[in-house]
Amino acid sequence: MVLFPPAKSWHRHAHAFVSAAVTAAALLGAAQAHAFALDDVTARAKTLADKPYVAPVSNLTPAFAKMPFGDYIKIQPRREAFEWNDQPTPFKLGFYHQGMQFSTPVKINEVIGTGPNAKIDEIKYDSHRFDFGDLKLDRSATHNLGYAGFRVLYPINEPGKLDEIMSVLGASYFRVIGKGQVYGLSARGLAIDTGLPIAEEFPAFREFWIERPSAGDKHLVFYALLDSKRATGAYRFDLTPGEDSLLKVQARVFLRAPVTKLGIAPLTSMFLFGPNQQRDPYNFRPALHDSNGLAIHAGNGEWIWRPLNNPRNLAISQFQVTNPRGFGLLQRGRDFAQYEDLKDRYDLRPSAWIEPQGDWGKGHIELVEIPSPDETNDNIGAFWTPDQLPPKGQPLQADYTIRWTMNERGIIDRRLAWVKQTLRTAGEITQANLIRHFDGSTGLIVDFDGGPLATLPAGSVTPQVSVSDNATLIEQTLQPNPVTHGMRLNLRVRVKDPAKVVELRAALVAGGKAVSETWSYQLPPFSVAKQ
């Protein structure tokens, strides 16, 4: 089992990525007689898929190959050497240097102009673009190196002040932030065999083509060629920074060979602990996560909320959905007091919401939860897996938009109440002497908020609760929450076999109609004390 790359600050995130992609073969001349477009990259991806896979070969010198993470992050781009400093566009490009496991260079091209006069120039590696800090390096050792990835800068928070809003580094990983946000979870181009008892395959972006924006452009377009042992792909990205930054993605994926599991629009995040799972007694933080739940808007209109776990063993959850309308890993809860972390600011980490364009057909949204002892591992994955894959030579097409937001309530249908929080506790009863008695059961508290709850007549709302065969529901009560003007659902279950999983679902109903999203929760094996 391969753990996901780590999260946290970009620097910590970077050190466990798989190596960056190798330079693509010379598939493109210095100039084109027509406007560069996704079709150009798609043709290259198809040609590449018809050829045997060529594994990346490192070009690093020993000094860079053995470089510790603490030294690697000292290599920073020089602001005075950003690409487009001499252009009127507010967008600028910075680059990541090779080193550590970023052992093969990524080719980065600039697309200049449009129409028949468009031309493509490679952005050549130049060591003078980087500040190497106090590293004692033989600068001649950099002559044959290149870029590991790139970052996009834009004045998103203050006029005239550049902020890094997107990072593209390692395999097919990228991260985006909006106004006032800090880096958290990641997205990637493609996932292959994630969460299986075999080695996961990490497709990599080998080459990029970035359109030079004009002075008035408020968005940035770039293309990527993806390659791996069993798949190739062509991608078009359209980035629009803002309060919520939007990234439109068009993907065309070709299979070289059969895959066991293909993940489309994959997201990668971290969940260590929170109110729904016992916290670390030696950690001052009430919660530590980049995301705390998976949200799904199913094709039939149902909204589902699945709180995350850090299980003792690998956990795979599948949600059968035809033509999903949306899904994402969200960070619900924006009060600083919920995290109390001034250094990493989990309260400012964005949620990522995937909105498919068109019908994706039959398939399932998969949630992968991997046990993790600390926050340096990204241990959460979510993606769409189609039931049917195209034959060799035909592309799988997936178009979607990723919204990077801190306005999680704005994603969910305003006509429905949403799950504001999930709390887990030892089940208890109050004895005649008013002293609490823990009876070996498990208590769950679900707070529903918003939607119609504040205006519905008292007593008109009832809960619909289901529990899987491995547990008995021994108590359920629904009460108004005068603080939030919502409703609090109190559940108490007795687990039959702690070595097995327990699934629970609950929704609020009024007049025979759901007035809330569906809370879908899992008690992993060994998450409660044995009776």
The per-residue pLDDT for 529 is: 54
Instruction: Give residue 455's region: left, alpha or beta (phi > 0; psi -120 to 50).
Output: alpha
The end-to-end CA distance of the chain, in Å, is 31
Q: CA 419, CA 421: separation in Å to the nearest integer? A: 6
Class of domain 10-410: mainly beta
CATH superfamily of this structure's domain 418-523: Immunoglobulins (2.60.40.10)
Of 290, 297, 361, the residue nearest 325 (C-alpha): 297
Instruction: Give residue 153's region: left, alpha or beta (phi > 0; psi -120 to 50).
Output: beta
Q: Kindly indicate the confidence band of residue 58, based on its pLDDT and cuts at 50, 70 and 90.
A: very high
> DSSP assignment, residue 451?
T
The per-residue pLDDT for 23 is: 33
Does 482 have pLDDT greater than 80? Answer: yes
Q: Kindly indicate the confidence band of residue 12, based on its pLDDT and cuts at 50, 70 and 90.
A: very low
Q: CA 414, CA 420: separation in Å to the nearest integer? A: 14
Q: List the structure tokens of 50.
A: 């018809």
Q: What pTM value is reported for the model?
A: 0.91
Q: Kindly indicate the confidence band of residue 31, based on its pLDDT and cuts at 50, 70 and 90.
A: very low
Q: CA 178, CA 166: separation in Å to the nearest integer? A: 9
The per-residue pLDDT for 144 is: 86
The per-residue pLDDT for 439 is: 84
Helix/strand/coil for 452: coil
Specify the residue for token string 């452009």.
217
Per residue in 262-319, pLDDT (tens digit) is: 999 999 999 999 999 877 788 999 999 999 999 999 999 999 999 999 999 999 999 9
Q: What is the mean pLDDT of residues 364-377?
A: 95
Does 14 have pLDDT greater than 80? Answer: no
Out of 31-40, 51-60, 61-70, least confident range: 31-40
Considering the chain, what percentage of its residues have pLDDT values greater than 90? 83
**Identity at 480, one-letter amino acid code:** P
Note whether 307 and 422 are within 8 A (CB): yes
Q: Kindly indicate the confidence band of residue 431, based on its pLDDT and cuts at 50, 70 and 90.
A: low
Q: What is the mean pLDDT of residues 164-186?
A: 98
Does 17 have pLDDT greater than 70? Answer: no
109: β partners: 122, 209
**Other CB atoms within 10 Å distance of the CB of residue 84:** 16
Q: List the structure tokens of 484.
A: 């939030």
The per-residue pLDDT for 440 is: 86
Of 184, 320, 181, 333, the residue nearest 242 (C-alpha): 181
Q: CA 82, CA 153: separation in Å to the nearest integer? A: 9
Residue 49 backbone dihedrals phi, psi, to 5 degrees = -65, -25
Does 32 have pLDDT greater than 80? Answer: no
The per-residue pLDDT for 10 is: 34
Q: Kindly indicate the confidence band of residue 136, based on its pLDDT and cuts at 50, 70 and 90.
A: confident
Give ranges for CATH 2.60.40.10 in the chain: 418-523
Note whether 467 and 473 are within 8 A (CB): yes
Q: Kindly indicate the confidence band of residue 116, based on its pLDDT and cuts at 50, 70 and 90.
A: confident
The per-residue pLDDT for 13 is: 39
Q: CA 397, CA 357: separation in Å to the nearest integer? A: 10
Does 3 have pLDDT greater than 70? Answer: no
Helix then strand then coil, in percent of the chain rounded to 5, is: 10, 45, 45
Q: Kindly indicate the confidence band of residue 358, based on its pLDDT and cuts at 50, 70 and 90.
A: very high
Give ranges for CATH 2.70.98.10 in the chain: 10-410
Q: Kindly indicate the confidence band of residue 34, based on its pLDDT and cuts at 50, 70 and 90.
A: low
Q: What is the mean pLDDT of residues 365-394?
A: 95
Is 2 exposed, middle or buried, given 0-12, 13-18 or 19+ CB atoms closer than 10 A? middle
Q: What is the mean pLDDT of residues 196-218?
A: 95
Does 260 have pLDDT greater than 70? Answer: yes
